[in-house]
Amino acid sequence: MAIRGITQKTLKNGEVAIYVRWKYKGKSKGVQNFTKLYGCNTPSKALETLNEIKIGLSKGIDITKKTKNLDYYFEENCRIKVLKKEWREDTTARNYKKYYEANIKEKIGWKKLSKITYDDLTEIINSLAHTKGTSRNTLKKILNPIMKEALKRNEITINEAAKLDHHKTYKREKLNKRIIETNIVVAQKLYKAIALYKPKATLKKELNAYLYLLIMTAHRYGELLKLNVNDIYLEDNLIISPAAITKTNEDYHYPIPNECIEYFKTVKSGKLFPNLRYSSMADYFKKLVELSEIKLFRNKTITAHDTRRLMLGIMIKYCKIDSMLADFCIDHQQTGVVEHYLDFTYEDKKEAFIKYWNIIREK
């Protein structure tokens, strides 16, 4: 049954929101999103909350003022982490927001931090019992930093998230436990399959160039999607991924494969791959693996991230490239003494890439 002044809408992202138009003592308060403000997920819950608000106002208590509940602290923490580049907006923040909406928000998002109990958290953990350990550990990864900071500010007296156990996680198997063929054969098959990939015509050149860049440079696919035309130096056959889009917050320099140049010349401004979406990348790579007819052990898979393992292994074992130089080619962040004394040049990196490319092109 419809409730006057209360409407339910489905937003573009698929979420359902309850909007309430209301007055108090003849003064309009406008339309407010009670789902976002108070966690109401049904019109009846919104009506109940509205009545509580009006009763509070009649007693001189205004509960419509922004409450610093868990929802508030989570959004603020996301904002700060992204600004400080501790999280990447298209990966960590995006995934954590999705996780929060699915597993935390409805259960305890509306609660003040001081009201969240260990039992609340274990109830969420128990609801995730069917998932992998990484999913259960994510609850602690999200809540622990928030509660830790609140504890420092004396807003809570105990950090309940710190009590959560660490659950055993699945460690991805080495490639030789998943693929029957050698690294070289797998890389060569992936390379050849790109020419066989036939997406819709408007996407073909763009997607093929992207896949060549992924296979031949082994850089992270989220980073590649963020490349801008201004990051490409065709006259120098060079790409510079700026620090703003890389995992280590440092510029990455690497050469452009010849297979990508024709497409790069057609993009005049903006994003290098404007029509490709992060959410589609896993499916694109899965299709490429199918086209390549790579021989895998039963129930095993390889992912786009495995291109880094492939390139590293081929450079070291087959191209006889120094392991530190091979690591330098995929821009792993170096630590300790190595960080200060590693002195490879871009020319060293370029030469290593050419050796790798010659192998996967079967030259």
Same-domain check for residues 28 and 144: no
Per-range mean pLDDT, top range of 196-200, 215-219, 295-299, 341-345: 215-219
Position 69 in a domain: no
Return the pLDDT at 350.
94
Band of the pLDDT at 212, cuts 50, 70, 90?
A: very high
Mean pLDDT score, 332-338: 53
Same-domain check for residues 13 and 134: no
Q: Give the span between the Cα atoms of 220 and 171, in whole angstroms.
A: 19
**Interval 32-82: pLDDT, tens:** 888 877 778 888 888 988 888 888 788 776 666 556 789 888 988 887 787
Position 96 in a domain: yes
**Interval 158-202: pLDDT, tens:** 999 999 988 776 667 788 889 999 999 999 999 999 999 988 888
Mean pLDDT score, 102-129: 89
The answer to whether 170 touches 134, Cβ cutoff 8 Å, is: yes
Position 101 in a domain: yes
Averaged confidence pLDDT in the chain: 86
CA dihedral 315, 316, 321, 327 (to 10 degrees): 80
Same-domain check for residues 193 and 256: yes
The answer to whether 186 touches 311, Cβ cutoff 8 Å, is: no
Position 81 in a domain: no
The answer to whether 230 touches 94, Cβ cutoff 8 Å, is: no
Domain count, the chain: 3
Return the pLDDT at 273.
94
Same-domain check for residues 16 and 145: no
CATH code of the domain containing 146:
1.10.150.130
Same-domain check for residues 39 and 113: no
Q: In percent, how much of the chain has pLDDT > 90?
A: 42
Same-domain check for residues 273 and 352: yes
Model confidence pTM above 0.75: no
Same-domain check for residues 329 and 184: yes
Residue type, 33: N
Return the pLDDT at 104.
92
CATH code of the domain containing 261:
1.10.443.10
Same-domain check for residues 159 and 196: no
Position 67 in a domain: no
Same-domain check for residues 325 and 243: yes
- Its domain, for residue 331, covers 175-360
Mean pLDDT score, 10-26: 82
The answer to whether 256 touches 238, Cβ cutoff 8 Å, is: yes
Same-domain check for residues 45 and 154: no
Which of 311, 300, 312 shows the shortest CA–CA distance to 173? 300
Return the pLDDT at 340.
46
